[in-house]
Structure 1
Amino acid sequence: MLAACDSPRPSAAAVRLPPVHAGFDYQIGGAYPPPPGVVVVTRDHTASPAASLYNICYVNAFQAQPDAQREWPADLLLRDADGRVVMDPDWNEALLDISTAAKRERVAVKVNNWIDECSDKGFNAIEPDNYDSYTRSNNLLTADDAKAFITSLAGHAHARGLAIGQKNTVELADSRSRTNLDFAVAEECAEHDECGRYASAFDDHVVVIEYTDPGMRKACSTFGSRLSIVRRDRDVSTPDDKNYVRKTCQSVLQKAVIRAFPLYGWGIGG
């Protein structure tokens, strides 16, 4: 059994969801003062929430951070038939072994501790990353394993008064009623024509991160009046980094108007 929580156990309906179509910033690469207009912000669980905003707390729930692999017991790292740790090649992260109920309980102990920290700090919601790790597991994990694990995390998050989001994994969006997830965090959903499926499954409670200008323009043109959308650089860097990028649908629209009417300078207030 997972460790019980002594505090009251609110239902999923009792937690506060992120507002729909709100100014959003994705700060998992480092916290900084939210730009004007931001209402919802996501930060890593090691950071503090932003004052007076809706704060989502990022935790890497299904994989080990590259510098944290040794913090996990060796048998909780997913291994292939030759005993080699199965890695996410894009981010150099070891997959966690959630293939059995017993291992899911043990992985959840650490993840739930992070959830508790997020709650204690005053965050409003949890973003458990890499729900889709089973798709990179060489068939060693299944979608049912992932759904079972995230359902247990959802129960713990709700017990601490936190909403919990589905990170990507659009193919499991229709399982929302079973997994008890409250909202979606969708990377590049416009790029992959997936925003509509998230919007439908989560009643527009969707925060979108696009990493390319074409993807951002498409997101804004199709869902800019419904979802919370931001364009960030892939490293999700801070403003003091030369590679920092942050754009909103408003700024994208203004540039589009200026391009359409260059002689008149229409755009901001035009």
Structure 2
Amino acid sequence: MPKGVRLAAALLGLLALAVVVVPLVVQLDQQLVDLAAAGQGPSLAHPLGTDEMGRDVLLRCLYGLRVSFVVGLVAALAGMLIGGLVGLAAGALGGVADRLLMRVVDGFSSLPHLLLGIFIVAMFAPSPWAVVVSVGVTHWTTAARIVRSEVLSLRERPFVEAAISGGASRARIVRRHLLPHLAPHLLLATVLMVPHAIWHETALSFLGLGLPPHLASLGNMINDGQRSLLAGDWWSSLAPGLFILVPTLSVSVLTQHWRDRLNPRTRSELSL
């Protein structure tokens, strides 16, 4: 395994362990305000300093990463479910149904994701479910294209043609021959969508349209930290930014390695 992949796995595992263990050991009061400790720089008591309200930045980053990861994972699963069903139907049915469904996919793909997401969350009060709906509705088209492409490829395989020649029903072909081969690609596409969903949630929270302002969220923390930059409190914005960048880059490196293992032919062609 390459060193970069091992490093990404170690960083992601360390962050996952901290996100799971720290909230169980140290409880965070979301409404806590300690003005006497406001704006303190990194120290032994507060490794990443405190924000303008006197709250520990490291602890809030860990809570915010947990919230962002859960919201991103649920949103990615929702987008994959919608896109997977559309792509499977388009590839399996073919003909007019395929052309009609792909025109719908093209229509959604032509819309700016962030603007459409803002429009969707603006119809609801700030909440995690509003972000999940926003990301799921705006990011299912990529999954639909991936699934349709794989289904069209599988339909040309000899074992599928043999099943069709043997009189197998369309439902049986999908259940017994298509879904088992699609599962690894669906899982990979879902994992790849998680970092994108986290960035989307962070952007919405930064604009004040995502999670409630009092909730520890990486987007909310960056939004709050930009006011502290004028006072020289750089850590209030840098820390949540790093907590977004490091896990998303780590996931990207691991999924790229996973994709190369699933498709060794593509890897060999790219290396030529």
With normalisation by structure 1, the TM-score equals 0.22
Higher strand share: 1
Larger RCO (alpha carbons 8 Å, 6+ apart): 2
Instruction: Please identify the structure whose Cα radius of gyration is greater.
Output: 2
Higher helix share: 2
